[in-house]
Amino acid sequence: MKPRIVVPLVAAFCLGLFSASDAWAGDAGIVVPKLLPQPAQMVEKSGSFVVDGNTRIHADGAVAQTVAAQFAVMLPTSVSLQRKPVAGKTQGGIAFAIDTMQAWQSPEAYVIDIDANGVRVRAGDEKGLYYGAVTLTQLLTSGDAAASVRLPALHIEDAPRFGWRGVMLDSARHFQSVDDIKRLLDAMAQLKLDVFHWHLTDDQGWRFPVPGWPKLTTVGSCRIPSGDGGIDAATGKPAPYCGFYSEAQIRDVVAYAAARHIMIVPEVDIPGHATAAIAAYPQLGVSGQPVAVSSEWGVNVNLFNADEATMRFLEDVMGQVAKLFPGGYVHIGGDEAVKDQWKVSAKMQARIRELGVNGEEGLQAWMIARLERYLSAHGKRVIGWDEILAGKLPPSATVMSWRGAEGGIDAAKQGHDVVMAPAGDLYLDYLQTDSADEPPGRPSLVTLKQVYDFEPVPKVLDAQQATHILGVQANVWTEHMRTVARVQHALFPRIAALAEVAWSPKSERDYVGFLQRLPAMLPRWRAQGIAYAATPFQPTVASELQHGGVQATLREQLGYTLRYTTDGSVPTAASPMYYTTLGLPLPATLSAQAFFDGKPLGAVVTRTFTAASLLSRSDEELATCSRKLVLRLEDDGPRTGDRAIFNVDIFDPCWVWKRAPLAGIAEVQVRAGRIPYFFQLAHDEPSRVFKPAQTAHGELELRAGCDGQVLATVPLPAQPDADGFITLHAPLQNAPAGGDLCIRFTGDTRPTMWVLDRVTLMPR
């Protein structure tokens, strides 16, 4: 066979008509490599090698033996081979070796050679050899499980584009167990991600102990959730939400990460996001008055003061961090530090004058510079969010750019190292699809393609400035992630796109090729117990009542083939392929599923349509009037178990049913719930709007369009029913035959707000 370089497939093909196996010429039964991230270079050669129960693992030297043992553990049991590594150089089988004779591009570089004589994995450093083992694991799991795996003859030369390939997890807002953290680290290592940024302190919780400051964990690690979620139903007493990691647990996690060549970057946020620490020790705050650990989301105004005693506290904290985390970086936050308290504090204004700094931003810069000196003396570099650029920044400080790329561009031009993590592309608490099955989060989308298309090096930087871009990071803020399953849903599959952006050469990135390789990751994640998001792999269904029937439109988020049935059966690879809107007589049942290579990818989605069902819509199926700050929020109760979920614009709670079929409709029924308004808005407070109430508890108001004529007004009750909901009946007056139906609740949204659950049109 003529040697060839295997590159990503061109983007012109239609996924529904192209099979991944069509792209690979080889012997019958040969595995088609499905690797994530894509290697820098992969050359196909003539021949193959079979891995089966007779295949041995060989390791030359102590480092190779360590990696070989890890390879034997990470490889699924479905792959047959003799897993106990054999020491020494041996021909045949799978061989791992450190090669000091070759000049290596980086410590993370590796080479894999596969031919009829076996598999050889080489690198100049343990980290590179480990990544070679990861790639080989993916090669051996690129096909269906079988007693033997026939690998194609290959030569792979690989090294990462960026050294910083990171994921941030917020453990302050919601707490994850050590086992959950380890499962994430395993999945990161499988994708060659090597930085775990651990957000450990915030307004809602302090998650690690500091000697001499015991209340950080006895007080600061607990909060009382808002509403029913903070009440024990059996006793009626407050039910605190608590959690922190002991020193032993942190050391365990650090060692676990290090074995997988992942550096942990701990974050202690200063001077803002400090409420949990101030709740434990009020003297650390500006007023010195007691506060509670926050149960609200958003931007809290509480700041650390800049007194000498508080700075000594922060140095104690950083000393503990330096002791527990051996990595080279400590993240000191610096974001969203609203300076209102400092501005009105005579003590802080005197401190500004005493230090001779330039106002409040200068005071924050002074605090950062002092902690930078302390950490530098302990062998650490400071990294912070891009707000730290507002004041004079120590030359060694690294900037994490989250408010777009601008902060990173500014920092790189000033000579600072940069990690690109813009919210609009890499904040994974943003929802990844517009499916009604998405869990709570921010309905502003960050899709899989958006993550994949992100380019970490801005074009405006010259070659020298571009060298300051250390890499890229995706962030997971957990306000709305009460369970680890929701964390995993947010991360996966988008974490795979991040990995390819961070590792693969820019020239080798191809989204269509990525989508062909992505399905191979799904069984790997399932084997690890990862609850990856099903929503990108399943169709969404939109429907409208037309001409006495239903017009149903299917959409698959990633472009895989959709097949459907209308007889109630489960779609198969032989079912009709979906091309365009379906017109179906009522009643109708539509089932649809995504397929790739003839195999189903996600769950079957089934919708049953009747004349009545088409006159009812949930909040997820409605638009919001202004989209100022739309959130997908969870009900406040019950304390444990499933809760209702609502789409709501917290700045302007107003919903709209576009092109509502109002002809012949006598009444609109609105099922509404009520939740606590648990948001701190700081300087965004003026953006919040609501219509004043005309009656004691406000009204449900229906309009023809958001600014059109009033169609109905119904007074709201003082309280919902016992189940937390109320159904309101609104007779229509002079309703147009069609047009937008706007639904709004009047009255202030504090301390509780009404939210829409379902709207139903009732015919005459």
- pLDDT score, position 13: 35
β-bridge pairing 665-676 and 263-270: unpaired
End-to-end Cα separation, the chain, in angstroms: 75
Q: Rounded to whole angstroms, how far apart are CA atoms 561 and 48?
A: 32
pLDDT of residue 15: 42
Long-range contacts of the stretch 365-370 (C-beta < 8 A, 24+)? 365/390, 365/391, 365/392, 365/393, 366/306, 366/391, 367/270, 367/271, 367/304, 367/306, 367/311, 367/314, 368/270, 368/332, 368/334, 368/393, 368/394, 368/397, 369/393, 369/394, 370/311
Full domain range(s) for residue 628: 616-763
> Are the beta carbons of 590 and 564 closer than 8 angstroms?
yes
Q: What is the CATH number of the domain that holds 676?
A: 2.60.120.260
235-255: b or e for each residue (b if 16 or more CB lie within 10 Å)?
eeeebebeebbeeeebeebbe
The domain that holds 79 is classified in CATH as 3.30.379.10
Q: What are residue 762's phi and psi, to 5 degrees?
A: -105, 115
CB-based contact 19:597 (threshold 8 Å): yes
Taking Cα atoms as reference points, which of 154, 175, 165, 164 lies closest to residue 220?
Answer: 175
Assess whether 183 and 199 both reside in one domain. yes
CB neighbour class for 719 (10 Å; exposed up to 12, middle 13-18, buried from 19): exposed
What pLDDT sits at residue 27? Answer: 58
Residues 6+ apart with CB under 8 A from 424: 404, 446
Residue 180 burial (CB count, 10 A): 18
Query: Please, which residues bridge with residue 359 across strands?
Result: none
Tens digits of residue pLDDT in 556-572: 889 999 999 999 999 99
Output the CA angle 76-77-80, nearest 5 degrees.
Answer: 110
Cα torsion angle, 527, 532, 537, 540, sign? positive
Instruction: Out of 588, 611, 634, pick the residue that ends a domain.
Output: 611
**Residues with Cβ within 8 Å of residue 582, at least 6 apart in sequence:** 551, 552, 553, 554, 564, 566, 590
Helix runs in 89-204, H state only: 126-140, 178-190
Please work out, in degrees rounded to the nearest 5, the angle formed at the alpha carbon of residue 652 by the alpha carbons of 647 and 657. 55
State whether 415 and 460 are in the same domain.
yes
Residue with tokens 């000196």: 373
Rounded distance, CA 204 to CA 300, Å? 10
Cα separation, 89 vs 752, whole angstroms = 70
pTM over 0.85: yes
Clarify whether residues 607 and 620 are in a common domain: no
595 and 628 assigned to the same domain = no
Closest to 210 in 3D by CA, of 319, 327, 311, 371 = 319
Rounded to a whole number of angstroms, the CA Rg of the chain reads 28
CB within 8 Å of 648: residues ≥ 6 apart: 619, 624, 630, 631, 633, 753, 755, 756
Under a CB-based contact definition with an 8 Å cutoff, are residues 57 and 79 in contact?
no
d(CA 262, CA 153): 31
pLDDT at 565: 98
Asked if the structure places residue 235 within a domain, the reply is no
Residues that are catalytic: 202, 273, 336
CATH number at residue 304: 3.20.20.80
Measured CA to CA, the distance from residue 440 to residue 489 in angstroms comes to: 11
Are 496 and 550 part of one and the same domain?
no
The pLDDT value given to residue 28: 63
Regarding whether 634 and 567 lie in a shared domain, the answer is no
| Residues 146 and 182 placed together within one structural domain of the fold | no
User: Which CATH number goes with the domain that contains 591?
Assistant: 2.60.40
**Strand partners for 377:** none
The residue ranges of DSSP E strands in 99-226, in sequence order, are 110-115, 118-123, 149-158, 164-170, 195-199, 201-202, 205-206, 222-223
Residues 329 and 416 in one domain: yes
- What is residue 172's predicted lDDT score, i.e. its pLDDT? 98
pLDDT tens digits, 250-301: 999 999 999 999 999 999 999 999 999 999 999 999 999 999 999 999 999 9
Identity of the amino acid at 7? V
- Separation between Cα atoms, residue 358 and residue 366, nearest integer Å: 10
Give the Cβ contact number of residue 713 at 10 Å. 15
- Which residues touch 507 (CB under 8 Å, ≥6 apart)? none
| 3-class SS shares of the chain: helix, strand, coil, % to 5 | 25, 30, 45
Task: Please indicate, yes or no, whether residues 583 and 498 belong to a single structural domain of this protein.
Answer: no
Looking up tokens 């997890």, which residue turns up?
A: 169
In eight-state DSSP terms, residue 379 is T
**CB neighbour class for 73 (10 Å; exposed up to 12, middle 13-18, buried from 19):** exposed
322 and 367 within one domain: yes
Looking at the fold, whether 40 and 146 belong to one and the same domain comes out as yes
Q: Which of 583, 611, 639 is the last residue of a domain?
A: 611
Please tell me the distance from the alpha carbon of residue 635 to that of residue 64, in angstroms, as a whole number: 52
337 found inside a domain:
yes
Q: Which of 601, 641, 627 is nearest to 706 (CA)?
A: 627
Q: CA-to-CA distance for 602 and 595, rounded, in angstroms?
A: 8
Query: Helix, strand or coil for residue 507?
Result: helix
Residue whose entry in the numeric block shows the structure tokens 């192209």? 18
DSSP-derived secondary structure letter, 397:
-
Which residues of the chain are modeled with pLDDT < 70?
1-28
- Residue 552 belongs to a domain: yes
Give which of 276, 271, 359 is closest to 310, Cα–Cα.
271
Assess if residue 294 is contained within a domain.
yes
**Angle, helices 521-528/178-190, rounded to nearest 10 degrees:** 160
Residues 6+ apart with CB under 8 A from 701: 691, 710, 712, 713, 743, 744, 745, 746
Residue 272 contacts residue 335 (beta carbons within 8 Å): yes
For residue 231, is it within any domain? Answer: no
How many Cβ atoms from other residues are within 10 Å of residue 129's Cβ? 31
Query: Last residue of a domain, which of 585, 611, 637?
Result: 611
Phi/psi at 15 (5° precision): -55, -35
* Spatial separation of the C-alpha atoms in residues 27 and 41, rounded to whole Å: 22
Distance CA 762, CA 764 (A): 7
Q: What are phi and psi of 351, to 5 degrees?
A: -65, -40
Residues with Cβ within 8 Å of 359's Cβ and at least 6 positions away in sequence, in order, are: 352
Which secondary structure element, helix H or strand E, spans residue 42, and what is its range?
strand 41-51
Burial class (CB within 10 angstroms; exposed 0-12, middle 13-18, buried 19+) of 392: middle
Task: Determine, yes or no, domain membership for 241.
Answer: no
> What is d(CA 8, CA 436) in angstroms, rounded to the nearest whole number?
33
Question: Does residue 211 fall inside a structural domain?
Answer: no
Strand partners, 339: none
Examine the domain organization and report whether 557 and 413 are in the same domain.
Answer: no
The tally of domains found in the chain comes to 4
Residue 320 located in a structural domain: yes
Kindly provide the residue ranges of all beta strands, DSSP E only, lying in 458-587, ordered along the sequence.
469-476, 539-546, 549-556, 561-565, 582-585
Query: Tokens 């009626």 correspond to what residue?
Result: 236
